[in-house]
Each structure stands twice: as structure tokens, then as C-alpha cells.
Structure 1
Amino acid sequence: MADRYGNDVLAGDWRRPRNGRTVEVELEKGMVVEEPSSGFVGAVVRWEHGVVDLEDRFGRIKTYPLGPGFWLDGKPVSLTAPKKAGPAKKTRTASGSVAVDNVRARVARAGRIYVEGRHDAELVEKVWGDDLRIEGVVVEYLEGVDDLPGIVNRFRPGPGRRLGVLVDHLVEGSKESRIAAQVTDRNVLVVGHPFIDIWAAVKPSAVGIKAWPRIPHGQDWKKGVLQAFGWPATDQADVAAAWKHILSRVNSYADLEPALLGRVEELIDFVTLD
């Protein structure tokens, strides 16, 4: 089957500078490159999980996704990880945690993390999956939080059985904030991110766009995004295909917005607190 998104707006080197064609360059430690959109110039100190750390002459380190959008010796380049004969030993998980070798997954805890939908769960699994397995934390999705108080009651939280809930669009005055305020059990932590949908928690730069489009209030947000990009938007199969494409661009925590990162880490800490 042909790649239905092979020539879409999210594909390709959209940040290509004007003075020459972008060429691929394998990373080397000490290589000095510039990220022109921020003006940051630094030497390569490490790379893994699709990101590279650059250190400038003042000792500041910034992390960027690999790929196009860099300059080397005044020429546009796309940075790639060096090809190796065998798999490199993983030192960090996709969430940025130190990778632990030869440790079996822990038996699942009684505590849980609930997220609103399937896409939320898939994104959390992709970035925090290694951490969750070591900690024995299971993530489940709810298909919405309109009945959150009832969901909490049915879970029966208590000491050693904590529940963490991640809510989309948890901002002051929203419907979600009024629902979350009804949950007062001290063994339950409800946190949220400001994005109307989990898609928008993926950095635009990770998927090759300048910004997520603004969708008029009252219009289905996901289908509005597809229409803005000129993608098929007739049914849920189109939505699912688009999400698969977007999720494939997420390689690590560096591809997600900080407003989501902090909340997920907070929930993991809460449900694993003994």
C-alpha cells in the first residue's frame, strides 16, 4: 500500500536554508554546529533516542531532535546518528531516565495511571514505557472523564492503591477543571495539560510544522487539523492513520512539550510513592 502521507505537509526538510541543499552528516563528538532558528552554536557532546546535546562555550547544553535544520561550516545539514556494526548500548530511556540493564519488569502495582484516550496512552507508552515497566505501573485509557468521580469510586483508591489521572485541556474555567475539582480523595492525583488534544503536546518541530493550526470552537479538533493539512478527514480511519504518522515522529521526551512532561512525571512519582 502506498504511503498516503508520503508527500504531505509534515514530511520532508521544511526548514531547509536557502544557501544550498541540505546534506546528511553523521555526528561526531566535538563537531560544532549551529541551530539557526535559535542562533545556538555548540559542540556535540552526546546523542541518543533521536536527539543530540550541544554544549556552547559557556557550558550551556541544549537538546535538539536529529534531522535537518542545522548548519555546519555555513552549510545546511541534516544530522544523523553514526551507523554502527551492532546495536549501541542504551544509556537513557526515551523519557531521559538512566537505562537499567538486566532488570526484569516489576509485577504490576495495585495503583494505576488513567489517561483520557487511546492516543494519550500510546504516547505515554512510547516515551515512558521502559520506566513504567520497571516501576510496575499500568496505564489505562478511559475514553473521556465526564464520569471521573464515578470512575474513582469504582477504582476504590487507598493506601498502596493510588490512582493518577491525566486530563486533557485542564485549564481554569473549563469543563474538565470543574469535573476534576469533584475528586477530593487524597489517594488520587488529578493533573492535566493545557492542550485541547494530546496531539498538540507533540512539538510542532518534531512533525515538521511551524505550529498546530487554530481550529474554530465547536469543530472537531482532530478532523479540523486534518482538513487544515489537506489530509483525508472523512472517518475515524483517517484520524487513526494521521495519528500513526504523528506518533512515528516522536522519539523521546525532547519531542514533547514541557507542559506534558512534568505532569506525567508527577503522576509516576505519585503512584509509586510507598
Structure 2
Amino acid sequence: AVHDKSAKVARASRIFVEGRHDAELVEKVWGHDLRVEGVVVEPLDGVDDLSAAIRDFGPGRGRRMGVLVDHLVPGSKESRIVAKANQVAPDHVLVLGHPYVDVWQSVRPQRLGMDAWPTIPRSIEWKKGICQHLGWAHDTQADIARAWKQILGTVRTYADLEPALLGRVEELIDFVTAPE
């Protein structure tokens, strides 16, 4: 955290993340620093229509848009979505991703007493499979929300996150705060 500085008025530039869990994790780890820089993080509720989200935001000079995407790996649905979206406003939008199926996986597994995140078969919803592996309730959305709160509660500092996420978030912060 940046010490001896207070929050700035929000910039026109924003960082967008896929969903609520992503936003909560970014807030927990980078929140104070983002407020000092005047950067707002907003959830997108998925990236299936990222091109429309970019057009709706209206990026331009002095109004940059950074986007963090889950599971941005070659050949994924997300990589095709991002390739199309990158054509909308390439000078004022930076879309970066991490390799994890979900932002949950960016939390170091050791924080949960595991050596590695388990591989969940594609036939099982990933978050439910993780909860089941950990012996946690997983039948309802409330169960998944409690599981996320438990995972998020293990995060204390940057050191509790995987470097692939840390680097991408730092790049997005640099992009939206850089002078034009």
C-alpha cells in the first residue's frame, strides 16, 4: 500500500474484470493503491460480448480501458473473443489475461493447504469441482459464494497470488495511469 497519500478523484480510465470475484480479489490486494491513483475497477459479468462492452465504455484520449480476462490461452473461447475485441479501439484498450480457468486459481494453492490446484474434468463445473475436492458444500450459488469468501480470506498480500496474475494487473494499472 502507498502510505501517506489519500484517494484521488476517479479517473475517466477504468480497469474491467470478468466478474465479482475478480473485482473483490483486485480490491483486496491493490485497493488502496488503486484509490491513490484514482483507478476504478468494474466487473463485466463475463466477456462473451467484450466488443460491445468496449463500445459502451467509449475509450478514447484520456479514457483508457484495461481488461483482465480469465483463461486467456491459445485456442480458448476467450482468445477468440479478445482477438475480435482488440479491433474496436486498439490505441486506448489493453486486454490482458491470465492462464487460470478462474481467478480462484490465481491464489497460491498452498494458502488452502494444497500443493497444486486439482484438475477438474470438463464435465463438472469448475468451481463446484474445486469445492467438492476441498470437501466444501457446492450445491447452491450460496455455497459457491461462501467458498470464494473462504478462498479470498486466505489472501493477505501479493505473495499469496501467482505471478501470472500479479504481472497482468500491474500492467493494466500502468496502462490506465500512463500519461497520454
TM-score (norm 2): 0.95
Q: CA deviation at 1:164?
A: 0.2
**Aligned twin of 2:117:** 212
CA–CA separation in structure 2 for the residues paired with 1:256 and 1:263: 12
Question: Which has the higher Rg, Structure 1 or Structure 2?
Answer: 1
Task: Name which of 12, 17, 20 aligns with 1:115.
Answer: 17
CA–CA separation in structure 1 for the residues paired with 2:61 and 2:132: 47
CA–CA separation in structure 2 for the residues paired with 1:109 and 1:229: 40
1:198 aligns with 2:103: yes
Q: Structure 2 matches for 1:43-58, cutoff 5 A?
A: none
Number of aligned residues:
176
- Segments of 4+ moved more than 4 angstroms: none
Q: CA deviation at 1:188?
A: 0.2
Q: Structure 2 matches for 1:259-270, cutoff 5 A?
A: 259-270=164-175
In structure 1, runs of 5+ residues without a counterpart are 1-92, 94-98
Q: Structure 2 matches for 1:2-21, cutoff 5 A?
A: none
Q: CA deviation at 1:227?
A: 1.0
1:153 aligns with 2:55: yes
1:232 aligns with 2:137: yes
Match for 1:108: what amino acid?
Answer: A
**Aligned twin of 1:271:** 176
Say what the alpha-carbon RMSD is for the aligned residues: 0.8
**Aligned twin of 1:243:** 148
1:171 aligns with 2:171: no
SS at match of 1:247: helix
CA–CA separation in structure 1 for the residues paired with 2:153 and 2:168: 22
Deviations 1:132-157 (A, max 9, x none): 00000000001100000011001110
Give aligned-pair identity as a percent. Answer: 64
Higher helix share: 2
TM-score (norm 1): 0.63
SS at match of 1:181: helix
Q: CA deviation at 1:210?
A: 1.4
CA–CA separation in structure 2 for the residues paired with 1:104 and 1:170: 34
